[in-house]
Amino acid sequence: MKSRSSARGEPRRFGNVALLALMLCSLVALSLIRARFSPIGNTAVAETIKVEDPKPVVVSKPAVAAEAGDGTDEATAVAVEEDKDEEAQPKDEEVQPKTEHAVDATVRPAKAAVAVDASKPVCYETSRRSDTCEAAGDVRLVGRTQTIYVDTLEREWKTRPYCRKHDTYALSHVKEWSLKPFPSGDGAAPKCTSNSSATAFVISTGGFTGNPFHDYTDVLIPAFITAHRFAGEVQFLVSSYKSWWMSRYIQIFQQMSRYEVVDIDADDEVRCYPSAVVGPTFHKELGVDPSKAPSGVSVADFRKMLRSAFGLERATATPSGDRWDIRRRPRLLIISRRTSRGRAFMNERAMADMAGSLGFDVRIGDPDTTSDTSKFARLVNSCDVMVGVHGAGLTNMVFLPAGAVLVQVVPYGRLEWLARNTFAEPSAGMEVHYLEYVVQLDETTLSEQYPSDHLVLKDPMAIHKQGWDALKTTYLDKQNVRPHLGRLKKTFLQALKMLPHGRDD
């Protein structure tokens, strides 16, 4: 990694001690002023992790959820910038918590406050995309009815624990949870059938889950951001639980929690806790903003946790063996895909041969062919360069070692903005180098499907204007690509230069 050479000049020697003292004083004063006005204390860290806050990307369409569960079709839902959405879309929850209701005395200072901050309102907006509710006291949770009774509450709150709060389509697959005061009068709060000293954490795997990009950006990373401060003393209660989904990611949950994950909608217990959190916290696409995270947690911590979860050995893309060792060759992974799914490489064999001729140890892997998350994670982690088409398995970059290179092949159709929000920007936070290869007209199968004067080929923006469905069907589902080997070679050579393998150290 980069080390900074300090370029401080040597102080000139003056015989005059007083003058030296004066200089020292002003130096101290100056650095104090600097520290005070620089926005982030540690600028070196800020450089590596800074990613521009992405434009609010709001997911829209049913198409994606229909695909949910069939594997690796990622990011296809992240689309269509919609600033307007913020104001335009009325909330469907009547008792929707908001930051504006901020000052709130409904929570008494918590007795057994286990890292739950009782000075905040019960439910508040943790980002433009997420609400989180926190309560402490005598917490009794009834999963069957999505109800949480808390003795310290004075009014009812409702929330849907999924980080797409303005996406009505996604939320239609997410159950609403209520936090209620203890019933007054005769109807006492239900009796505890199980007691825990952990914090209860309710999340939902409804929404767009099943699509790996959404699994990470909507659920796993936000859950990690929230759960981190509990250091394992947190129990995941999962609403809209899907066992096939949980089996994919159970190792991750086992890293975040010492307790069993509960399919909470189907649970017959009355579960009692000293505190509860409902809804994870979103920061940005596939990322963490340490300045917003209560415990200063970062995406590097998330990746470290993934390495423990899946037994990944490489934290950095450091070559193994000395410079004469055959294993020192950098490994390049081409993400393969069935052509019927769209966004497949039509010439992956030729791409592999070309990469091999440059000195890469080439692998071709199709994440669809394995349901074993850790197996594919280990393959990705063993690689130094990963090449794939936008939204066709690129979320696997979470497993790449730091210093590796991600090459995103952007399909034809002016999709650069989509490529940027979903994978280009997050790569910086993951300390993964990023290269882009934009598919031209003579490299797309679309030019075989449409006459050369067709709008699809001549004016992609006109198709974008027809909306997300048209864009997705045309450019994402029905397009395969055949990158020009000569041009792609230049990108691969660039990737090679970014790696430490060629250097002598």
Ligand X SMILES: *[C@@H]1O[C@H](CO)[C@@H](O)[C@H](O)[C@H]1NC(C)=O
* Site residues for ligand X per CB under 6 A: 192-195, 272
Of 200 and 272, the one with the shorter C-beta distance to ligand X is 272
Of 12 and 191, the one with the shorter C-beta distance to ligand X is 191
Tokens of 264: 């909470």
| Shortest reach from residue 193's CB to ligand X, in Å | 5
Edge-to-edge strands, sheet with 361-365: 361-365, 331-335, 385-389, 405-410, 433-438
Of 141 and 498, the one with the shorter C-beta distance to ligand X is 141
Cβ-based burial of 503 (10 A; exposed 0-12, middle 13-18, buried ≥19): exposed
Of 259 and 310, the one with the shorter C-beta distance to ligand X is 259
| Shortest reach from residue 277's CB to ligand X, in Å | 20
Count how many residues are written for the chain. 505
Of 193 and 316, the one with the shorter C-beta distance to ligand X is 193
Of 132 and 199, the one with the shorter C-beta distance to ligand X is 199
Q: Nearest-CA neighbor of 300 among 313, 289, 284, 312?
A: 289
Of 194 and 369, the one with the shorter C-beta distance to ligand X is 194
Percent helix / strand / coil, the chain, rounded to 5? 35, 20, 45
| Residue closest to ligand X, measured at CB | 195
| Shortest reach from residue 257's CB to ligand X, in Å | 20
Q: Nearest-CA neighbor of 445 among 413, 478, 402?
A: 478
CA–CA distance from 257 to each of 199, 237, 331, 348 (Å)?
10, 11, 34, 41
| Shortest reach from residue 123's CB to ligand X, in Å | 26
Q: What are phi and psi of 405, to 5 degrees?
A: -120, 130
| Shortest reach from residue 272's CB to ligand X, in Å | 6
| Shortest reach from residue 260's CB to ligand X, in Å | 16
Question: Which segments of 172-218 are extended strands (E)?
Answer: 177-181, 194-195, 199-204
Of 26 and 197, the one with the shorter C-beta distance to ligand X is 197
| Shortest reach from residue 191's CB to ligand X, in Å | 8
DSSP string, 444-473: BTHHHHS-TTSHHHH-HHHHHHT-HHHHII
Tell me the CA end-to-end span of the chain in Å, nearest whole number: 12
| Shortest reach from residue 282's CB to ligand X, in Å | 34
Residue 21 CB contacts under 8 Å (≥ 6 apart), including other chains = none
**Matching residue, tokens 């045309």:** 474
Q: Which residue type, as a one-letter code, is found at position 474?
A: T
